[in-house]
Chain A
C-alpha cells in the first residue's frame, strides 16, 4: 500500500508543483500574489475539454491550443488590469487579480458551461503496471510535463536576455530600470509564463480529476501553499513544495485519517512557516527598514 500511496502523492504533487511554479514566477518579478492564477489553471483544463469535446480537435493540438490560450488570457489580465497600476501599491494589485479571477470564473461559467468535464487522457485510459504498482499513463505525462517545463524555464532564465531581465527585475526592480530593463516587459512575460505553465497543469490534470469552472480557487490555494512551503520566488522551491504537499496529503489520507488529511498538510505548512519563515529553499531576505 505504501508504494501506491507514494505514487499518488507524487502524481498530485507534480501538479501542485506546476501550479506553484507559475505562482512563484509572477511573485518574483512583480512582488504580487496573483489570486487569478487558479483560474489560469482552470482555463487550461476547461479549454482543453472544450477543444476536444466541442470542436472535436485531436488531443495534441487541443492541448497546445488550450495552453497557448491560457497564456494569452494571462497576458490580457496583465495588460488590462495591471500594466498601468502603481507598482508599489501591492494591495490594489492583489485586489485586481482577485477581481480578474472572479471575472474569469464567471466567463467560463457562461461560455464554457457548468458541467464537470473529463477530457480524454493523452494516451488512453488503461493503467500501466510497474511491478506491484499501477500507474496511470496520464501520471507519466504529468511527470514528463513537469520536467520539460523545469528544463525550459531553466534555459529561459539562465541563457536568454528575457530571462536575465526577469531575474534582474526580481532582485531589484529599481536597479533593473536603471540598467535599461523594462520591468513592465518582464512582468508581462512572467504572467504569460504563469498562464502557459498553469494552463498546461490544468490540461494535464483534467483527464484524471475532471475540470469545472469552479475548481480554480481550490487549486490556487494548493499551489500557493506549495510555493510558500518551498520558498516563494524560487521555481525549484515550488517543485519541492509541491511534492512535499502532495506526498503529505496522500500519506495522511492513507495512514492517519482521510477526514483530517487537509489538517495534517496545513499543520505541516504552519510548522514550516513558524520554524523557517522563508520556506524550505528560500533565502532569508534582508528586511528593509
Chain B
C-alpha cells in the first residue's frame, strides 16, 4: 500500500471526525471522541518512533504525564495563558525525550523496551510521590477551564475543535517527516542501524530526533488531556497507558499514520462498548485483541485494505 493511499485515508479520517462530533448530541459520546483524538495524537508520536524508525518505547506515559503536569502547574501557579502553557509543556516533554534517548542509543529491541519501561516507571514513581508539584495519587491535580484569550472553550464542542486542530497539526508534522529526507534516514536506520551508520548517517542524532518528536506529540496530548479531564491523578500515567499506546499503533497498522488514528479510536472506544459484558469485559477484550492480531497480523488498516483489494479484484478460481 503506497503512502499516497495512507495520506488520503488519513485525510478521510480527519474529515470524518468533526462530522461525527457534529451529529452526536450526547455529551458523553462527544467526550469519548475527544479522548480518542487526544490518544490519536500520542499514537501518531509512537507511530513515528516505532513504525518509521523502529524504536520501541514503553515509556510514553512519562511524556504524557510531563505534558499534563507542566501544563497544569504553569496554568495554576504561573497563571499562564492555556495555549502557551500547553506549548511550553510539549517543549519540555520534547527536551526530556531528546535527553533520554542519548544514553539509550546503544540499545535496541527488547533491551530498549526494558530501558524505556524502566524510564517510564521511574517517572511514574516521581509523579506519584512528588506531591508538591503533582498532587500525587491523592488528591491529584485540578485544572481551571480552558480559555483562549478570554474566550471560554470548556464546552465539549470547543474542546473537540481544539484537539482536532492539534491532531491535524500532528499529522502534518508526521507526514512531512515521513516524506522528506529525515524520513528516509529513519527508515534506513530501522532496516539496519549498522548499515545506515556505514553510509554516513548519524544514528545517535537520528534516534534523538525521533524520540524528541514522539515526546513532543505525546506531551502535547498530555497538555490537552489536562484541560479536558480537568482533574487527574498520577495513576493515569502508569505503564497501563504506555501499553495501551503500543496496542493502538500495532492494531491500527504499524507504519501508517491512518493506522495510528484508527487504532487510537478502537482502543478508546472498545472498552466502553464492552462495558455491557460487565465482569466478562476483560476476557472479551483480550480475546478480541488476539483475534484481530491473528487474522490481521499487520494491523487493521493494512488488513482491511488487502481484504478489500482481494474482494475487488474478483475471487480467484
Interfacial residues, chain A to chain B (CB-CB below 8 A): 27, 33, 80-81, 84-86, 89, 91-92, 95-96, 98-107, 109-110, 217, 221, 224-225, 228, 232, 259-260, 262-263, 266-267, 269-270, 273-274, 277-278, 287-289
The answer to whether residues A266 and B122 also contact, given A92-B250, A109-B283, A221-B117 and a CB cut-off of 8 A, is: yes
- Give Cα A84–Cα B192 distance, bound, in whole angstroms: 27
Which of B27-35, B82-90, B179-187, B284-292 lies at the interface? B284-292
Chain B residue nearest to A287 (CB atoms) is B194
- Give Cα A99–Cα B270 distance, bound, in whole angstroms: 14
CB–CB A33/B282 < 8 A: no
B149 at the interface (CB under 8 A from A): no
- In the A-B complex, the 8 residue pairs with the closest CB atoms: A103-B286, A99-B289, A106-B283, A106-B282, A102-B286, A99-B290, A92-B297, A266-B118
CB–CB B114/A269 < 8 A: yes
- Give Cα A289–Cα B192 distance, bound, in whole angstroms: 6
Measured between beta carbons, the chain A residues less than 8 angstroms from B79 are none
Chain A's nearest CB lies how many Å from the CB of B9? 21
The answer to whether residues A277 and B106 also contact, given A95-B251, A95-B293, A106-B286 and a CB cut-off of 8 A, is: yes
Measured between beta carbons, the chain B residues less than 8 angstroms from A107 are 283
Chain B residue nearest to A99 (CB atoms) is B289
Given A267-B122, A287-B193, 20 new contacts (CB under 8 A): A84-B294, A91-B250, A95-B250, A95-B251, A102-B285, A105-B282, A106-B283, A106-B284, A217-B239, A228-B110, A259-B129, A260-B125, A266-B122, A269-B115, A270-B103, A270-B118, A270-B122, A273-B104, A273-B107, A274-B107
The answer to whether residues A103 and B290 also contact, given A225-B114, A273-B107 and a CB cut-off of 8 A, is: yes
CB–CB A262/B282 < 8 A: no
Measured between beta carbons, the chain B residues less than 8 angstroms from A267 are 122
- Give Cα A106–Cα B284 distance, bound, in whole angstroms: 8
Measured between beta carbons, the chain A residues less than 8 angstroms from B158 are none
Measured between beta carbons, the chain B residues less than 8 angstroms from A96 are 289-290, 293-294
B47 at the interface (CB under 8 A from A): no
- Give Cα A86–Cα B279 distance, bound, in whole angstroms: 33
CB–CB B107/A277 < 8 A: yes
B137 at the interface (CB under 8 A from A): no
B195 at the interface (CB under 8 A from A): yes
- Give Cα A217–Cα B240 distance, bound, in whole angstroms: 10
Chain B's nearest CB lies how many Å from the CB of A177? 21
The residue from B118, B250, B280, B287 contacting A225, defined by CB atoms under 8 A apart: B118
Pick from A232, A262, A263, A287 the residue with the most CB of B within 10 Å.
A263
B281 at the interface (CB under 8 A from A): yes
Measured between beta carbons, the chain B residues less than 8 angstroms from A84 are 294
List CB contacts (< 8 Å) of B246-263 with chain A.
246-247, 250-251, 254
Chain B residue nearest to A89 (CB atoms) is B297
Chain A residue nearest to B281 (CB atoms) is A106
Pick from A95, A267, A287 the residue with the most CB of B within 10 Å.
A95
- Give Cα A217–Cα B121 distance, bound, in whole angstroms: 13
Measured between beta carbons, the chain B residues less than 8 angstroms from A100 are 286, 290
CB–CB B283/A103 < 8 A: yes
